[in-house]
Amino acid sequence: MRPEIDILHSIKITVHIRMRILYLHIGFHKTGSSSLQLAMKEQVQALDQAGFEFLSLGKKGNSSGCIDVCKEKGRVHFQVNSRLDELLAASRNEQVIVSAEHLSYLYQRDSIELIQRVCSKYFDKIVVIVYLRRQDLQAISFKKQGARGAASNRSSSSKLLGHAEGAFPSFSKDIEIYYDYFNKLILWADVFGADSLRVRLFSREALHGGDIVSDFLALLGGGVELSARRVNEGVGRKEFLLTHKLLELGVAESELIKLKPMMLEDDTQLLPSRRDAKQFFMRFKNSNHLLNNTFLNNDSGLAFDTDFSGYPEQGNDWITVRDLSEWIPEILSAGIQKPEGLRDALLADKLQQMVRKKFSGEVLTQELEDLANCLSASAYIAKDQQPWYRALKKKKTSGR
């Protein structure tokens, strides 16, 4: 054997193949995404020490800016822009995390394939993580988010769910598509591969450690410790109902901003009736049955717990005349332009609703009584008054 060959045999050659992994969290909305993003953004050094690089477009950890949301001719459209590509191009570590709940809007194969192509440019393996919440619970929470604003069609919640009265959005093709979890996830599974998808149930009982931060870290394989963050997005009944109604009526943003302080004083929880909640959930019965068989396994056969006992028999998710009688004095003193006009618009809208909904006799009687009390509070009749100088004249006591 030649000496040079003998030398080569004695050298131990180690080749390190660098495999890059992307953990892509795609939502859904209202499943603790903001808390998760904030926890990772504020503790990015802890993640880095554990070997994970957290990237984000937003200052609070959200990368939903990679999806453009627009509304045209009554339909909502979603477009993938170049920002995800730019974000991933800046990554350096072998393990990278990106969280963007707007990715859960995507329902067309070509859009999801575009996401896959962008991710595959930089990563050898992509793990897609998604959290699902029962549709009725998610819809109430998502519509509450729309009530935090003061302008229509600005937030994605406003564009998708609208501002019709009630805890739930009016049913439309866009609503049907958004809450059809199965058909969306089967596309993600087809494009990225079924083994790449991690489908998690968003409920305290199902989450590892009882919160999304602990659960998400467990999916990363452990070895990372972050303290949870709580993002307060609470919206009380008054703010929910009045904001949605004023936006539905077309009240200007500048005027609605003046009215916001008087809405924040109430922290009463808004709840629909048990019947309405179950009815909304059952619209997705077929989709949830397939979801149960493919991604989640619940004894109900519908992917989620079907206990609706947390809802009352009678909901409080509509404005009553009694509500208006309490709120109108605050509206009149809020400093908006022509407050009497807004008062009349609210009362007129309520009367039209009473005719349209055909309330039962008992409810109708109560509403009419409250309407009479509401109007009497500001009613005024001018009395006949004598000129001031008449009071100075001495009245005759006798004669003509």
Domains of the chain: 21-137+171-219 (3.40.50)
Quick one: which of 304, 276, 9, 4 has its CA closest to 167?
A: 276
Q: How do 125-132 and 197-201 pair as beta strands? A: parallel
pLDDT tens digit sequence for 281-313: 999 999 999 999 999 999 999 999 999 999 999
Amino acid at 134: R
Dig out the tokens for 306 from the structure.
Answer: 């079907």
CA pair distance 288, 184, nearest whole angstrom:
12
Neighbour count for residue 15 (Cβ, 10 Å): 4
Give me the helix-helix angle, 253-263 and 321-332, nearest 10°. Answer: 110
Assess contact for 165 and 54: CB atoms under 8 A.
no
Q: pLDDT tens string for the chain (400 positions)?
A: 555 555 545 555 444 567 999 999 999 999 999 999 999 999 999 999 999 999 999 999 999 999 999 999 999 999 999 999 999 999 999 999 999 999 999 999 999 999 999 999 999 999 999 999 999 999 999 999 999 999 999 999 999 999 999 999 999 999 999 999 999 999 999 999 999 999 999 999 999 999 999 999 999 997 889 998 888 678 999 999 999 999 999 999 999 999 999 999 899 999 999 999 999 999 999 999 999 999 999 999 999 999 999 999 999 999 999 999 999 999 999 999 999 999 999 999 988 887 777 666 777 777 777 776 777 666 565 666 667 666 666 666 665 5
The predicted model scores a pTM of 0.88
Dig out the tokens for 224 from the structure.
Answer: 């990372």
Q: What b/e readout covers 228-266, taking b as 16+ CB neighbours within 10 angstroms?
A: ebeeeeebbbbbbbbbbbbbeeebeeebbebbeebbeeb
Contacts 24+ apart (CB under 8 A), 187-192: 187/107, 187/109, 187/112, 188/26, 188/112, 188/128, 188/130, 190/109, 191/109, 191/112, 191/113, 191/115, 191/116, 192/112, 192/116, 192/126, 192/128
Rounded to a whole number of angstroms, the distance between the first and last alpha carbons of the chain is 154
Cα angle vertex 239, ends 233, 242, to 5°?
A: 145
Dig out the tokens for 186 from the structure.
Answer: 């089967």
Residue 120 has a pLDDT of 98
The one-character DSSP state at 400 is: -
Assess contact for 27 and 63: CB atoms under 8 A.
no
CA pair distance 333, 316, nearest whole angstrom:
26
